[in-house]
Structures are given as structure tokens and as C-alpha cells.
Amino acid sequence: MTNSVLYEAPGPRAKRRARYTSIVVGVALLGIAAWAVAQLAAAGQFTMNKWGPLVDPSHEYFAALWNILGQGLVNTLQAAALSIALSLVIGTAMALTRITSAPWYRWAVVGVIELLRGIPVVIAIFFAARVLPELGIELPLLWYLVIGLTAYNSVIIAEIVRAGILSLPRGQSEAAYALGMRRSQVLLTVLLPQAFRTMLPALISQLVVVLKDTSLGYVISYPELVQEAEIAIQNLNNPIQIYFVVAVVFIAINYSLSRLAVFTERRLSRGRQGPSRPARPHRTPAATGNATGGGH
């Protein structure tokens, strides 16, 4: 249902009224913004003293500051990439074995999934960094973060994969069986490749979640973007400004990824025949799945 279904195409009077209301709302918003800016200015948050290192290339700490933030971003991306790759492998394995295996095994997998889904990611990370060494498993910090993130995200991906496979038309597997393929062949060569196609947008959205969650590396002092920003803040004493930049970086990357997810979804759904497209968007692992699945 498109938005326009909710209201009539406006006539001249409605248009005029809408224009007035828009202006009032716009002015009110501008007013709030102006007030906030005035308050921040009064608190001395717009001085070059605070912003200089970030925006003035000739500032003595400009290069050092952007270096440290850049290094943090590299670390963040690295942790996110490793986590999503590992989650994809483990999640797919979990989903496939859950679909195929004996009942007791299926229940065990469901149990693990429910358990991991019920625990905050930050605790999974903290747990990995605190408990694994007590058990004699000592790794670089990066891997504790990756393990913590993977533990949570692999179960989410397992669910996405399972939904993807179950959403395929029955005819696909029936035809494959009729050709004399084994169950594993059917899964790996027929169902999974098709499922991945429909899952792609949801997977990209999950990447947004992972990227945001790398910031939880703070509990184990992993030098990701937010941690490195903290070091810069200790030196430059401008937390608001630096956090503003960090927020912009995260929003820019994640927004691009979300747009990519929407774009892929459109491309993929255009490739398919009209009738097979499900009527109710929220039932499919769509790009908005991010909102429902892992609201982290």
C-alpha cells in the first residue's frame, strides 16, 4: 500500500492548508534547531579550539587525529568483515543441519539458537574475553570480539537462511529429487544458491547490525573506532565534536549499506516473476528484516 492511499489527492484548499501547516512545522523545527545551536554556542562547543583538530588541515594535530580515527575505522571494518564472514559460514551450517538432521540434533540446535539469541551481544563479547582465557584459550583481542559477535549473529543468519530455504517453492526440491539427487545435493546445489539470492538483502542489513555492534568492543578495550576516538578525546578534550564525527561516519556507512540492501532487493524481485512475489512484505526476510530480527 502506498502512502497516497491513506489520503485524498489534495484539492486547492487542502494544498493551501498543507502548505501553512508545513511552514508552521518547519518553523517550529528550525526554532528547536536554533535553540540547540545557541545553547551549544553558549557552552563554547563551536570554537575553533574544539573543532580545529577535526576541520583545519593546518592544525598541529589534524593529521594525527585523523590517523588515529582512520586506524580505528580500519579495525572496526576488519572486525565486522571477519564476524559477518564467520557468521555466514556457521549460520548456514546450523541452518542446513537443522533442516536435515535427526530430531534430537534439531532440538539441540534450536536450544543453542534460543540461548544465544537471549543473551546481550555485549555479554557474549565480555564472556569470550573473560572466560576463554580462564579455560586456557588465549587469542588476540580482535578474535574475542569476533567470537562474541559471531556467536550472536550466526544464529540470526541461521534463521535467515532457514527462512530463505523454506520460502522456496516446493517444486524446486521435488524436481531435484525426481532427477535422482541426494538430499545433500538438493540442498547444496539447488536450494541454497536460490535461497542466498532472496536472502542477500537481509544479509546486507545484518552487516549493518554487526558494524554497529563492533563498537561494543569497548568492554574489552579493542581499539575500534569509538575506543580510538576516546583516546583522541583524552588528548584534545572535545568529546562532543569527536563523537559527532564518529556518528556521522557510522551513519554514512550504514546508510549506504541499507540503500544497497534496498537496491539489491528491488533488483532481485524484478528478476522474478510477478505472481511469486509474496504479498505481505513483513513475512519475507526483506531489507526491513533488520528492524525485526536483531535490533541492535
Partner 1 sequence: MRSRKPRAVAAALAATLGLVLTACGSGSTNQLGSGGQDSFQAPVAENPSFEPGTTMAKLSKQGSITVGTKFDQPLFGLKGLDGTMQGFDIEIARIIAGQLGIPADKINWVKTPSKSREAYIEQDRVDMVVATYTINDKRAQRVSFAGPYYNAGQDLMVKKDNTEITGPESLRKTGAKVCSARGSTPSEEIKKYIDPANLVLFDVYSKCADALRTGQVDAVTTDNVILLGLVNESGGKFKLVGKPFTEEPYGVGITKGDTEFCQFIHQSLTKAAQNGTYQKAWEATAGKVSEENPKLPELNTCS
Partner 2 sequence: MHVITDNLSLYRDGLVTTLRICLYSGLLALLLGTIMAACRVSPLTPLRAVGTSWVTVFRNSPLLVVLFFMAFGLPELGINGTYFVFGTIGLALYTSAFVCEAIRSGINAVPPGQAEAARSVGLGFGQTLSLIVLPQAVRSVIPPLGSVMIAMIKNSAIVGAFGVGGDLFSVGENLTSAQGEAALPVLIGVMLGYLIITIPAGLLLGIVERKVAIAR
Task: Please report, as residue ranges, which positions from 70 to 89 form the binding site for partner 1 (by CB under 8 A).
Answer: 70-71, 74
CB of 178 to partner 1, least distance (A): 36
- Asked if residue 123 binds partner 1 (CB under 8 A), the reply is no
CB of 2 to partner 2, least distance (A): 8
Q: By C-beta, is 184 or 276 nearer to partner 2?
A: 276
Stretch 46-85: interaction string toward partner 2, x if CB under 8 A: ----------------------------------------
CB of 13 to partner 1, least distance (A): 49
Please select the residue that binds partner 2; options are 92, 150, 238, 258, rule is CB under 8 A. 258
- Asked if residue 131 binds partner 2 (CB under 8 A), the reply is yes
Residue type, 89: V
CB of 126 to partner 2, least distance (A): 7
Please select the residue that binds partner 1; options are 10, 26, 111, 133, rule is CB under 8 A. 133
- Asked if residue 247 binds partner 2 (CB under 8 A), the reply is yes
Q: Which does 262 bind (CB under 5 to 8 A by kind): partner 2, partner 1, none?
A: none
Q: Which does 65 bind (CB under 5 to 8 A by kind): partner 2, partner 1, none?
A: partner 1
Q: By C-beta, is 157 or 226 nearer to partner 1?
A: 226
Can you tell me the distance from the alpha carbon of 110 to that of 116, in angstroms, rounded to the nearest whole number? 10
Contact 227, 72 (CB under 8 A): yes
CB of 74 to partner 1, least distance (A): 6
- The count of residues interacting with partner 1 (CB under 8 A) is 26
